[in-house]
Amino acid sequence: MYDEFFSKAYELLTEGIPFATAIVVRAEKPSSGKPGDKAIITPTGVMHGWIGGSCAQPTVIEEALKALADREPRLIRLSTDPDRHETAREGLIDLPMTCFSGGTLEIYIEPQFPLPRLVVVGNLPVAQALVQVGKAMSYNVIAVDPDNAGIGMTQSDEVLTDLEAIIDKVTPLTYIVVASHGHYDELALEYALRSRAPYVSLVASKTRAAAVLDYLKAQGLTEQELSRLKYPAGLDIQARRGDEIALSIMAEIVQHRRNAEAFDVEALLQGIDLSIQPTEALDPVCGMTVQIEGAEFQTEYNGQTFYFCCEGCKTSFENDPERYLSKPAPTGEAIDPVCGMTVDIASAKYMSEYEGQLYYFCGAGCKSSFDKAPQSYLSVSSGG
């Protein structure tokens, strides 16, 4: 799980894709999530990792997308009855589980945003100054310089000598500036304008830019693609020198970046199926966890399927369903009456019912001994 978490985070950061992390910071039994469990949620609502199973997953995904949209972390508490918590804690959001499970999970969700990427095409003074300013502003800077292999642009994080390689470097947070001054403007813009880069600009006069656009149109670029080109590059700050032009371009990039549309959470959720099928259920009679797939004992009541650990629990439920649905299933811990060990009810594998009372055991041996002579163990446990 941890390998998947960190490798996925590295992959998304490398690709420049925002994501959210979710970490379980507190858990109350019988929840299957444990403190330290963690997951990554992508902007398309895909979860990588584990935070407690299908009863928590849909809500965590939804809250993670909201965190990406408003760029704010959040701490949520999931439980089957959020209104039962008598005291609210500042900064804690109480939310319901999406299915009957029991227990409580507190999960910290935090949005993660990769460094923005600046791709600079060319090696003349404006391009060299852009590399310097971009690095000073903590951008991931890639220099594209087929002629000089990055000479004079040593501050860049990476140097490309093949224009076609631009395609593989474009992320949703990539800003491309073509400043080759006629050396290979057209070819570089063919790759840039067909990419998903949110900003593409050309350092050129309006006359030169018009000629470039005519060429690109002849190469089959659509009007929509051509409309994405900003020329001349940069804000009008009366810049003259190369470093001043570079400053005006970075100012424009910052303006574009800060005014970019936030994630539309509702639109994202419309394309995501949050009705995740649960993989486990709680026996409503004894509170033990039952794996749904391949479950031997199950019954349907009022259109809902219930799963049981054994034939006895199934029969008890079928004889009086409302008795068990009107109150929560047993939770917490029990004492094995044979050996005295503490047993977690939800994860217990062995249980017996005697005179209307449920007893939980650490293993098959204790259960077998109890079933043969229950009174002998009950008298001991009661001090008789």
Residue 54 has pLDDT above 60, yes or no: yes
Instruction: State whether the Cα torsion 99-79-62-4 is positive or negative.
Output: negative
Per DSSP, the three-state class of 237 is coil
pLDDT at site 266: 53
Q: What percent of the chain has pLDDT over 90?
A: 32
Q: Kindly give the pairing relationship between strand 174-178 and strand 38-41.
A: unpaired
Say what the pLDDT of residue 268 is. 46
More confident residue, 325 or 84: 325
Which of 8-22, 92-106, 201-215 has the highest average model confidence (pLDDT)? 201-215
Structure tokens that stand for 226 in this block: 């051509």
Domain span(s) for CATH 3.40.50.720 in the chain: 117-258
- Among 49-58, 317-326, 351-360, the least confident range: 49-58
CB atoms within 10 A of CB 198: 19
Gap between the Cα atoms of 67 and 40, Å rounded = 13
Q: What is the pLDDT of residue 33?
A: 78
Q: Are 27 and 103 in contact (CB under 8 A)?
A: yes
pLDDT score for 279: 66
Give the Cα separation of 15 and 362 in Å (integer).
Answer: 49
Mean pLDDT of 123-128: 90
Q: What is the pLDDT of residues 134-170, one digit of tens each?
A: 999 989 999 998 888 878 788 888 898 888 888 888 8
293-313 mean pLDDT: 90
Q: What is the pTM of this model?
A: 0.56
- Higher pLDDT: 36 or 97? It is 36
Question: Mean pLDDT across the chain, nearest whole number?
Answer: 85
Contact 29, 344 (CB under 8 A): yes
Contact 131, 153 (CB under 8 A): yes
- Report the percentage of the chain scoring pLDDT > 70: 90
Q: Of 40 and 382, which is predicted with more confidence?
A: 40
DSSP label at 238?
A: -
pLDDT digits 0-9 by tens, 249-282:
999 999 988 887 665 555 444 545 555 556 678 8
Average pLDDT over every residue of 357-372: 92
Name the more confident of 152 and 235. 235
pLDDT of residue 384: 44
Q: What is the pLDDT of residue 320?
A: 92
Instruction: Give residue 20's pLDDT.
Output: 94
Q: Write down the pLDDT at residue 135.
A: 92
Q: Read off the pLDDT band of 102 (50, 70, 90).
A: low
For strands 289-291 and 280-282, give the pairing. antiparallel
| Rounded average pLDDT over 188-216 | 90
Which option is the CATH number for 117-258: 3.40.50.720, 3.30.70.20, 3.40.50.1100, 3.40.109.10? 3.40.50.720
Lowest mean pLDDT among 282-286, 292-296, 356-360, 379-383: 379-383
